[in-house]
Amino acid sequence: MKIRMIGCGAMGAGMVKNLLKSGFEVTTFDPHPVKQDEMKKLGASPASSLMEDALTIDAILLSLPTSSLVEETIMAIVPLLKKGTFILDMSTTDVAVTKRLFQTAQDAGIHYLDCPVSNGPAGANEGTLTIMVGGEEHAFHSVLPVLESIGKEIRYIGPSGSGQVVKLCNNMMVAGIMVLLSETLLTGAKNGVDPKKIAELMSIGSAQNKVLTVFGPNLLNDTHDDVKFFLGHMTKDINLYSAMSREVHSPALLSSIVEQLYEVAKAQGKSHLDTSAVGQVVEWMGNTTICT
């Protein structure tokens, strides 16, 4: 199977590495020449343009930062693909956009699957991503070997957009826990208790959660430049969740507060830091720090 990877950042590069490791023939496209050079060193064949040799491609994987870029890319390339080609959008994309692109692809005889992922760059590099898939189930089974080469936990969720719904709900939960974890550790610190001791007890008690495990060290050590997941990307995902909840008139009492805090962090120039940097907004509000 000939695969093209579009978008070779931290996530896409890891996917390329593991696709090659599994024996797939991979071409890549990224507008940044340095990224293309890195993919060539891995063993992939960089394409000179998005559309180069489009008719020879069996499956396209996209890992792009915004819904608009996903839509622009797919609308440009769909008319050039052979019928039966698979498009796997590994990005986190607006649900309405996903459904629209699914229909466009289907009308052209192309199989379109939304396949957002979890576990970040480390999971991409190690081939242990969690992948949530929406779209036609028969198409999912056809590309399962591709997904298995880059992921560990792979779930077919349902019709087009379902994968994105699950991913956005997941990231909203992570963002919410991140805020509450920041608040509780700060409150403990202001009451004279070492936040590291609080986190240690949380980790063995009923408050244990993966957010504490993954992002907790950054909160406790003020190492927000150790990026597990960019705050800017998390803010984008929260915005997408909010749009999704409004579309179906679902309550968003707590999530709207979380969204505001991330927007403040973004406005303060923290987009390039880890998502844990939202804790700095909480510290600013509390006029003290978690890290002692």
Identify residue 9 by its one-letter amino acid code.
G
pLDDT of residue 38: 95
CA–CA distance from 177 to each of 1, 131, 184 (Å)?
41, 21, 10
In contact, 15 and 117? CB cutoff 8 Å: no
Report the alpha-carbon distance of residue 36 to residue 40 in Å, rounded.
6
Report the alpha-carbon distance of residue 168 to residue 258 in Å, rounded.
14
Dump pLDDT digits (tens) for 28-54: 999 999 999 999 999 999 999 988 999
What is the pairing mode between strands 59-62 and 45-46? unpaired
Percentage of the chain exceeding pLDDT 90 = 97
pLDDT of residue 56: 94
Query: Taking residues 4-24, what's their average pLDDT?
Result: 96
Provide the strand spans (E) within 44-92. Answer: 45-46, 59-62, 86-89
Q: Minimal CA–CA distance to 161: which of 78, 94, 85, 64? A: 94
Residue whose pair of structure tokens reads 């591709």 in the numeric block: 146
Q: Minimal CA–CA distance to 64: which of 40, 47, 88? A: 88
Domain with CATH 1.10.1040.10 in the chain: 165-286
Dump pLDDT digits (tens) for 162-216: 999 999 999 999 999 999 999 999 999 999 999 999 999 999 999 999 999 999 9
The angle at the Cα of 276, spanning 122 to 263, to the nearest 5 degrees, equals: 120
- From the options 1.10.1040.10, 1.10.150.20, 1.10.645.10, 3.40.50.850, give the CATH code of 165-286: 1.10.1040.10
Report the alpha-carbon distance of residue 222 to residue 236 in Å, rounded.
23
pLDDT of residue 287: 96
Residue 262 carries which DSSP code? H
Q: Please state which architecture CATH assigns to domain 2-159.
A: 3-Layer(aba) Sandwich (3.40)
pLDDT of residue 196: 97
* Mean pLDDT, the chain, whole residue set: 96
Provide the strand spans (E) within the chain. Answer: 2-6, 25-29, 45-46, 59-62, 86-89, 111-114, 117-118, 129-134, 151-158
pLDDT of residue 65: 92
In contact, 278 and 179? CB cutoff 8 Å: yes
pLDDT of residue 10: 87
pLDDT of residue 242: 97
How sure is the predictor about 265, in pLDDT bands with cuts at 50, 70 and 90? very high
pLDDT of residue 114: 98
Please state the pTM of the whole predicted model. Answer: 0.94
Domain with CATH 3.40.50.720 in the chain: 2-159
In contact, 120 and 130? CB cutoff 8 Å: no
- Copy the structure tokens of residue 1: 């199977």
Report the alpha-carbon distance of residue 139 to residue 130 in Å, rounded.
18
In contact, 121 and 10? CB cutoff 8 Å: yes
Alpha helices in 158-252 (DSSP H): 162-190, 195-204, 210-221, 231-247
How sure is the predictor about 292, in pLDDT bands with cuts at 50, 70 and 90? confident
User: CA-CA-CA-CA torsion for 163, 67, 249, 106, nearest 10 degrees?
Assistant: -60
3-state secondary structure of 133: strand
Q: Is the pLDDT of residue 135 over 80?
A: yes
